[in-house]
Amino acid sequence: MTVAPTPTTTAELSYVYAVGPRVPELERAVPRLTGLLDRPVHTVESGGLAAVVSSVPEAQFGEEGFKAQLEDLGRLEVIARTHHGVVDTLFRAVTVLPLRLATVYRDDARVAAMLDESGPEFTALLERLAGHLECGVKVYALPPGPRSAPSAPARPDAARPDGGGTNPGRAYLQRRKAQRTRHEDAAREAAETSARVREVAAAHAVDRVVHRPQQGELATGEGRNITNEAYLVPKGTTDAFAAAVREAARDLPGVRVEVTGPWAPYSFASPPAPRAEDGDRRGR
């Protein structure tokens, strides 16, 4: 039996990792980078800006091809790791705006047009983020400590006829009430800790972005994630930021606080939406 070959296309797209200023530091960093599929990285320049780009096959990164890759978690992880690796290396050399994962344009000419269209907005964002890094803060509510769990009444003879004993049904309800109280106390303590941590973190940062709490496969470690925030912190003060946040939550019962970073300020780099043409796609 002869198997028909899978249709292929040799068309290429321009995958954009980041936008930065057109400066020598960026030009020196780019030749050391390796992009997706181990392809070389280059710049597309317009005015005072440069986009950091590599070519990718349309068969894999066009609309249909990328939808298929989204279903392969292993492949998606490789794409994300490569994307972030390029951005982080660039950011160590110069401030850049990370673009979203899988941002592609029909060709380099469209990338240059995008820089022309959104140049003032990109420049303003770069000026705002210069000299800053992102740190993450997550607060987790821990389950109440183990105590006697309520059990259904199983000994009706425990109640004495003279009323001197404890009614088993009443005792069960009392234990249930105590359990609810412990959960309510834990939730209140976690909320108070979140507010305290937020106040301390904000005092050491210049901006904050609130993300949705992580759930399901994204949630790691003990407890329920109730706060997931990113802070824009001046370079050179990230250690002090982390120490202050951890100190704010020290010895507080019922919560766990996690500080992550520093890294490039992904949460604060929201590039403007350029005019889209066929073959262009903003990332995810």
pLDDT tens digits, 113-136: 999 999 999 999 999 999 999 999
Find the radius of gyration of the CA atoms of the chain: 27
- Taking only the tens place, the pLDDT of each residue in 177-221 is 665 655 565 667 778 888 999 999 999 999 999 999 987 655 566
Given a contact cutoff of 8 angstroms between Cβ atoms, the answer to whether 16 and 104 are in contact is yes
pLDDT at 150: 43
Give the residue ranges of the chain where pLDDT is below 50.
1-7, 147-160, 163
Lookup: tokens for 44: 């597309």
pLDDT at 218: 58
Q: Which residues of 224-248 are buried (b: 16+ CB within 10 A; e: fewer)?
A: bbbbbbbbbbeeebbeebbebbeeb
Cα four-point dihedral sign 38, 39, 43, 44: negative
pLDDT at 2: 34
Q: What is the pTM of this model?
A: 0.75
